[in-house]
Amino acid sequence: MKTLLALLRAARPSRARVAASVALGATSVLSGVGLIAFAGYLISRAAERPPVLSLGVIIVAVRCFGLARPVSRYFERLTSHDLAFRVLAGLRVSFFARLEPLVPARLEGYRRGDLLTRMVGDVDALQNLFLRGLTPPLVALLAGGVSVAVCAAYLPLAALVLAGGLLAGGVVVPTVAAYAGRRSGARQASARAELTVELVELLRGAPELVVLGADRAALERVAALDAELTRLARAEALATGLVEGLAVAVAGLTVAGVLAVCIAATAAGALDRVLVATLALLAMASFEAVAPLPSAALRLQTTLDSGRRLLALADREPAVTDPAAAAALPAGSQLTLDGVGFAYGDDENWELSGLDLYLAPGQRVALVGPSGAGKSTIAALLVRFLDPDAGRLTLAGRDLRALRQRDVRSRVTLDSQDAYLFSTTIRENVRLARPGASDDEIERALAQARVWEWVRSLPEGLDTFVGEEGAAVSGGERRRIALARTFLAGAPVIVLDEPTGHLDPETAEALIGDALSAADTRSVVLITHRPEGLDLVDHVLTLRRGRIVDMRAVRRPPAVRLPAPV
Amino acid sequence: MRTLDPRLLRIARGARSALAADVALGLLAAVALLAQATLFAYAVAQAFAGRGLGAVAGALVALAALAVARGLLAGAFEATGRRAAARIMSSLRLELVRRRTHDAPTAVDGAESGEVATAAVQGVDALETYFARYLPQLVLAVLVPLAVLGWTVAIDPVSALIMALTLPLIPVFMWLIGRYTERRTRARWNALARLSNHFLDVMRGLTTLRSFNRGEAQTERIAAVGEEYRRTTMQTLRVAFVSGAVLDLAATLATALVAVTLGLRLVDGGVTLRAALTVLLLTPELYVPLRALALQFHASADGLAAAERILDLIEAPGAPPAGEAATPLAWQTLRLDDVGLANPGRPGQVLDGVDFELRRGEICALVGRSGAGKTTVAALLLGLRRPDTGHVTVDGVDLAGFDAATWRRQVSWVPQRPTLFHGSVAYNIALGSDGLSAAQIEQAARLAGADGFVRELPHGYDTTIGEGGRSLSAGETRRIALARALVRDAPLLILDEPTADLDAESAEVVTAAIGEAREGRAVLVIEHRPALARLADRVVRLRDGKTVTETVRADAAETRPTVGASGEPPVPAAAVGHASAPVIAPGAAPA
């Protein structure tokens, strides 16, 4: 329930729209009830052979309900879908605003595409909660209530039977369904996850497994997991069958009960005989109000799990927050690390410790070392994705923690190997770094990254689509487009975190050379575990287990030493 | 994909009996419905005639029994269909993995493998709707209305005629609307797909956005795209829902029409109350199966898309069947003899005259730009592919004649992008070798330069890696795969860029290990780096799928231009590097 309320708050559906959707839904159900009940009344009344004219009003009512039913149902479907899309948009905005400050430091594991995809899938799943979980119960309450009330006006006992039946169909059966869903849902989810992992591995590594002769064993594992999942799915099929059957049986039994009560009342003279068919048919049709509830309840658990996962994420504290009273950023781009230490979580092991570094404007430093030495953590510290646990970093003499993140990142730009290209045009991907940039400036940035010739040769030039759904762009070209974006940002300090990851050595060497020559007077921190480009920087620092163990000058001593920060 | 795709129906055949049972259950449920309507009308008519509860008690009990029976039938219908769907999905998955490992062992790319696996596992929900509801409903949508009409003819032919007259309107309307909707929907499809993927795109690139201070600005954009998506989709739905509304309208108008006609005829005494009520109850049931069919058609569309992806992979062309001859163990020379190969469905040749040999005790370096066909050569030697023209021979005997499994037992291979499998480091290294001791595993890791970082993992050699385990860098992954290949007792070792992603230190260790591996083995190294090519006894340069030069280094360099080659020097360029500079004092901030 707490989850439900929290999610409701996150989605903020407009009350008027929910009300409209519920009203239309109830109208649709009640038109169906009205149509069949009045038709029954018409036939019963006609059987008494009254003058035809006296049936006129009833005939009009039957026709009206007959028209109102498809019309209200059509608009109900439109309104509820419209509501669902609005809720989805609201949820996306709301979760985005809460998750955005957590990236990347607090969602480190979420860099991997599949986890992110799941998160996005979770947000999408939540719209079901509202489409199936919010309006249908309200519709059931309203339409069911009206049906029972009408019934009560003629025969309270029949109303009681109907109310009992609707409660069984609208509360008891869905509860059974929710219970069945909870039990099988969790077990199926883990069986599915295991099988997915095994399948991914097998699809990805099939040739290796075959060559190693390990394919048979892998097949057997998949078959065993598949058998388990199939067993669970078949067990669930029985559960849903049970729920479905219960719903049908409850409706049928209630109609029989109402009919019996009505017949007894007629025999006792308490009910006009014309109303027997009317009330029984009304009862029959009113079950449409509760029909969608069991299947909604069956899925409730899965949806709530999605919600819980998201809320747990959204409740994390950002790793870095802007200071209440941010200092103005003075001119200058010299960076210092002063006894910087960093540890992930409560870990006793320091990822970085006692790090001292001075980066003068225009200076180029390479950080090398084996993976796990803490290189990328330094990159994250430099752009203030993380704050140090010991010591301090300063930019132009100011402690980074006293500055707004926005100000830090306008002067220090990070380009990492997993810099992302969005599913849009090359122009938009580059322009991202500076939204006001003109085509000329974008061209210049692409030229600096030595990729403009290639872009120009494309049939659609800057308008070529890249990214997930875009045209095939080689790894080298992708990296260069990302580099152009970094140049366009115009920050005086550039941090290149493994810019040549996933590239072959020839491409890597060319890329690094071009990047460093285009960086011109900017300061560069090149983080790499590969040899390319190490001859093009001023200093190479070797990092091992969070400490600088070696430092050597390569090409030239810094031409000009700027005065130290005050 | 068409809704009655023959490929899907072929798969459904495995569950034919279950689907038939489903149809039978649906028909029984329809019969129960007819009985229920008839009994209901009987009981009301009796009460109308002034008879008390006692007179209709039997009918009421029968009605209650029918309610339970309908519940059982509905439950059984649901359960049978879904159980059949689960079985179909399982056979689809197993066919996929069997096909990918046995007949067509080609790797499915990283991202795609994830999507296909998800489709194969999660896609079951949507396919369930297709197999469990749509297919049986397709039959029931014809049979149930016929049964209802037939029963109505028996009770009241006039009403049956009215009902029959409204029926043909439906398919005509549906067809018209369907055509119109399809055209409109298709035009919007791409735009919709892009809009709906926007959020995923933004989330995936969030770190990049934050690096450029564009994170917060995305909130508005997400809201705007969400709004655009809603607007566009609603435009489509406004038309799409019309088809449902037409069915609803036909059902309610038919009910109203039948009810009014019956009312008027009752006044004239042209029909009995009992018959009239029965017909009234049956009229809406005429349309229920059609309505259900329309709903399930939309719901099963996703499942069809999932199935299509899996079916495409299952039906991808496989390797031609291998021979049955056992491979000789003591072979000396492997030859590629004017080998040509094209990728099915793509223009141009991948290999177009590759010619070189590989001897035991030698390292052969295969060099050339990316796209020159180097990796394809490896696939040929592994027996994963067959040449279209020319031959691959083992001591003069065509490789195609050998049993693939026994041949592969003689091959050890590290692909360009090696895969780690879920399990411990030790398990991964020992994969493909029998009965290795812990010492042998560690020795292999040392040779591959992996021992150092493995020892620093939380549980050393017992650390779980691979999908779902601890993630390793590309260089670490490669070193584990190298250890796996080096420890395997196979006379042919194929290494696809063994030092890519490695730092200089590890690359040196690995290079030394490869140098020693040539003892008793034929080693094929696909490589860019000069250090490895220098180690080679034979350097083969490929360009555009052709052998350009084959240089044998053994004693005196003998360069043999194979095709009319020109240009590139036969021996790789000299090493790049830089003189080591003196160590300077740390560039710390001046005081």
pLDDT (tens, 9 = 90+) of chain B, 591 residues, equals 455 667 777 777 777 888 889 899 999 999 999 999 999 999 999 999 999 899 999 999 999 999 999 999 999 998 998 888 888 888 888 888 888 777 666 666 555 676 677 777 776 666 777 888 888 888 888 899 999 999 999 999 999 998 888 877 777 776 766 666 666 655 565 566 667 778 888 887 888 898 898 888 888 988 998 888 888 888 878 877 887 888 888 889 899 999 999 999 999 988 999 999 999 999 999 988 888 887 777 667 666 766 777 787 777 766 656 677 777 778 899 999 999 988 766 667 888 889 999 999 999 999 887 667 888 898 889 888 888 899 999 998 888 888 888 888 899 999 888 888 888 999 999 998 988 999 999 999 999 999 988 988 878 899 888 766 677 777 888 999 999 999 998 999 999 988 877 777 788 889 999 998 988 899 999 886 667 778 889 999 888 888 888 888 754 344 444 443 343 333 333 333 333 333 333 333 333
Gyration radius from chain A CA atoms: 34
Pairs from B432-436 (Cβ < 8 Å, separation ≥ 24):
B432/A211, B432/A212, B432/A213, B432/A214, B432/B484, B432/B488, B433/B484, B433/B487, B433/B488, B433/B489, B436/B487
CB proximity B570 to A under 8 Å: no
CATH (one of 3.40.50.12160, 3.40.50.2000, 2.40.50.140, 3.40.50.300) for B333-561: 3.40.50.300
Beta-strand ranges (E) seen in B114-233 are none
Domains and CATH numbers, chain A: 15-314 (1.20.1560.10), 335-553 (3.40.50.300)
For chain A, say whether B298 makes contact (Cβ under 8 Å): no
Query: For residue A537, what are its two tokens?
Result: 């920087």
Q: How many CB pairs under 8 A join A and B?
A: 503
For residue B197, give the 3-state DSSP assignment: helix
Query: How big is chain B by its Cα radius of gyration, in Å?
Result: 36
**Using CA atoms, how far apart are residues A33 and B249, in angstroms rounded to an integer?**
15
Region for A32 from its dihedrals, namely left if φ exceeds 0, alpha if ψ lies in -120 to 50, beta otherwise: alpha
Q: Is A483 within 8 Å of A526 (Cβ atoms)?
A: no
CA atoms within 13 A on the CB side of A211: 31
Q: How far is B553 from chain A (nearest CA, A)?
A: 24
DSSP one-letter code for A100: G
B354 near B377, Cβ under 8 Å?
yes
How confident is the model at residue B522, as a pLDDT? Answer: 94
pLDDT averaged over consecutive 10-residue blocks of chain A (566 residues)?
A: 80 88 96 97 95 93 96 94 88 87 71 64 82 90 97 97 97 92 80 83 85 88 92 89 95 97 94 95 96 88 85 85 88 92 75 90 88 81 92 93 93 87 90 93 92 89 76 76 93 90 73 86 88 86 86 62 42
Q: Indicate yes or no: CB of A422 within 8 angstroms of CB of B201.
A: yes
Q: Which chain A residues touch B129 with a CB distance below 8 Å? A: none
Q: What count of Cα atoms within 13 Å lies in the side-chain half-sphere of residue B333?
A: 8
Amino acid at B176: L
**Res B589: pLDDT:** 37
Report which of B541, B569, B528 is spatially closest to residue A530, judged by C-alpha positions.
Answer: B528
Tokens 């230490």, residue?
Answer: A341
Phi-psi sector, B567: left (phi>0), alpha (psi -120 to 50), beta: left
**What's the confidence (pLDDT) of residue A200?**
81
CB B198 within 8 A of CB B205: no
* Token couple for B58: 């039997």
Q: What is the pLDDT of residue B343?
A: 73
Distance CA B392, CA B339 (A): 7
Distance CA B537, CA B521 (A): 13
**Residue A142 DSSP SS3:** helix
Q: Measure CB to CB from residue A252 to each of B66, B83, B107 and give the nearest one.
A: B66
- What string of DSSP letters covers A67-95? HHHHHHHHHHHHHHHHHHHHHHHHHHHHH
pLDDT of residue B587: 37
B153 burial via Cβ count (<10 Å: 0-12, 13-18, 19+): middle
The beta-strand segments (E) located in A441-561 are: 493-497, 523-527, 539-544, 547-553
Specify the pairing of strand A523-527 against strand A493-497: parallel
The nearest CA of chain B is from the CA of A342 a distance in Å of 19
β-bridge partners, A540: A366, A552
For an interface test with A, the pick among B97, B290, B291 (most A C-beta atoms closer than 10 Å) comes out as B97
Cis amide bond preceding A104, omega within 30:
yes
How distant is the Cα of A156 from the closest Cα of chain B, in angstroms? Answer: 18
CB atoms within 10 A of CB B447: 21
What is the reported pLDDT for A109?
A: 53
- How far apart are alpha carbons B491 and B408 in whole angstroms? 10
Residue from the list B79, B83, B222 with its beta carbon closest to the beta carbon of A96:
B222
Bridge-based pairing state of the strands B558-561 and B546-552: antiparallel
- Strands of B558-561's sheet, edge to edge? B411-414, B492-496, B522-526, B363-367, B538-543, B546-552, B558-561
Burial of B485 (0-12, 13-18, 19+ CB in 10 A): buried
pLDDT number for residue A563: 44
CB A329 within 8 A of CB A398: yes
Q: Could you report the per-residue pLDDT of A151-197, keeping only the tens digit for each? A: 999 999 999 999 999 999 999 999 999 888 887 777 887 888 888 88
In Å, what is the CA distance from B258 to each residue of A53, B141, B161?
18, 21, 10
CA nearest B135: which of B52, B26, B37, B57? B26
User: Hey, CA dihedral for B316, B320, B325, B330, is it positive or negative?
Assistant: negative
Q: Give the CA angle between residues A512, A514, A520 to the nearest 5°.
A: 110
First to last CA, chain B: 72
Residue B573 at interface with chain A, using a CB cutoff of 8 Å: no
Q: Which of B234, B528, B582 sits opposite A82 (nearest CB)?
A: B234
Q: Which one, of A117, A77, A85, A109, lies nearest residue A14 by Cα?
A: A85
Alpha-carbon gap, residue A63 to A69, rounded angstroms: 10
Question: In chain A, which residue's Cα lies nearest the Cα of B469?
Answer: A197
Q: Is A356 helix (H, G, I), strand (E, B) or coil?
A: strand
Query: pTM for the whole thing?
Result: 0.79
What's the pLDDT tens digit per position in A72-90? 999 999 999 899 889 888 8
Q: Which residues of B touch A410 (CB under 8 A)?
A: 213
With CB atoms and an 8 Å threshold, state whether A422 touches B202: yes
Map residue B169 onto helix, strand or coil: helix
The tokens of B361 are what?
């005790």
Q: Is B292 on the interface with A (CB under 8 A)?
A: no
The answer to whether the CB of A42 falls within 8 A of the CB of B260 is: yes
| 3-state secondary structure (DSSP) of residue B493 | strand
d(CA B290, CA B170): 9
> What is the torsional sign of CA A510, A512, A513, A519?
positive
Q: Is the torsion defined by CA of A358, A364, A367, A368 positive or negative?
A: negative
Beta carbons of A133 and A307 less than 8 angstroms apart: no
Q: For testing the chain B interface, which of A208, A347, A409 should be mutated: the one with the most B CBs within 10 Å? A: A208
Between strands B363-367 and B538-543, the pairing is parallel
The answer to whether B326 faces chain A, any CB pair under 8 Å, is: no
Residue B451 and residue B400 in contact, taking contact as beta carbons nearer than 8 Å: no
Q: Chain A closest CA to B54's CA: distance in Å? A: 9
Hey, how many other C-beta atoms are within 10 angstroms of the C-beta on B507? 21
Is the four-CA dihedral A478, A481, A485, A491 of positive or negative sign? positive
CA distance B185 to B181: 6
Spell out where B237-332 has E strands: none
A273 CB-near residues (< 8 Å, 6+ apart) = A44, A266, B47, B48, B50
CA distances from B244 to A24, A75, B289, B469 (A): 16, 11, 13, 49
